[in-house]
């Protein structure tokens, strides 16, 4: 599985699908398979040379929560998925794919809080620095003090 980028952009694939005369040919030609979150998380771990313990530490999530997500026992909510992406040192594209596979909405640059998070990811901020930036700009932080 390619982690850093998809071989074809989704828009290109949609164009090919809409132009296809035969769905079977499209599915086999494009090698369309369903990806699941746990497989993608393991691929990110390998690609980034990380251990789950480091992901838990860097994400700010409880290690048990991280292990349960990696084991497929639970699905992360949106903020937890974003925090997991920080723990996995994801770039913007990897983060968006992780969010999609987690079944939550992707970051949207037209939403203020999401725009801040995207900017922080793009500029190499970690989760704690991103929370500082969110707090500074009067937006809810990812790691909440409950």
Q: Express each pLDDT in 108-138 by its tens digit.
A: 999 999 999 999 999 999 999 999 999 999 9
Task: Annotate the chain with DSSP letters as a single string.
Answer: --SS--SS-HHHHHHHHHH-S-HHHHHHHTT-----HHHHHHHHHHHHT--HHHHHHHHT--HHHHHHHHTTS----HHHHHHHHHHTT--HHHHHHHHHHHTSPPP-TTSHHHHHHHHHHHTT--HHHHHHHHHHTT---SS---
Give the pLDDT score at 7: 46
Q: Residue 104 is encoded by which pair of tokens? A: 């939550």
Asked if the structure places residue 5 within a domain, the reply is no
Residue 60 forms part of a structural domain: yes
Answer whether residue 3 is part of any domain.
no
The model's pLDDT over 7-61, given as tens digits with 9 standing for 90+, comes to 455 678 788 888 888 888 787 777 655 679 999 999 999 999 999 999 999 999 9
Domain that holds residue 123: 10-136
Residue 50 domain flag: yes
pTM of the model: 0.81
Per-residue confidence (pLDDT) for residue 28, from 0 to 100 = 78
Q: Is residue 145 part of a domain?
A: no
Q: Is 28 inside any structural domain?
A: yes
Give the pLDDT mean for 86-115.
96
Residues with Cβ within 8 Å of 109's Cβ and at least 6 positions away in sequence, in order, are: 115, 118
Q: What is the pLDDT of residue 10?
A: 66
* CATH number for position 68: 1.10.260
Total structural domains in the chain? 1
Indicate the pLDDT class of residue 2, thresholds 50, 70 and 90.
Answer: very low
């Amino acid at each position: 599985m390619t982690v850093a980028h998809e071989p074809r952009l989704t828009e290109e694939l949609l164009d090919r699908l809409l132009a296809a005369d035969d769905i079977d040919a499209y599915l086999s030609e494009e090698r369309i398979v369903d990806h699941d979150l746990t497989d993608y998380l393991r691929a990110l771990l390998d690609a980034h040379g990380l251990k789950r313990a480091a992901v838990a530490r860097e994400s700010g999530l409880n290690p048990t929560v991280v292990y349960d997500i990696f084991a497929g026992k639970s699905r992360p909510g949106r903020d937890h998925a974003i925090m997991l992406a920080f723990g996995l040192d994801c770039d913007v594209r990897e983060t968006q794919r992780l969010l999609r596979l987690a079944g939550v909405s992707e970051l949207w640059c037209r939403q203020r809080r999401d725009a801040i998070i995207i900017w922080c990811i793009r500029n190499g901020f970690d989760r704690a620095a991103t929370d500082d930036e969110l707090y500074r700009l009067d937006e809810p932080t990812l790691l909440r003090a409950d």
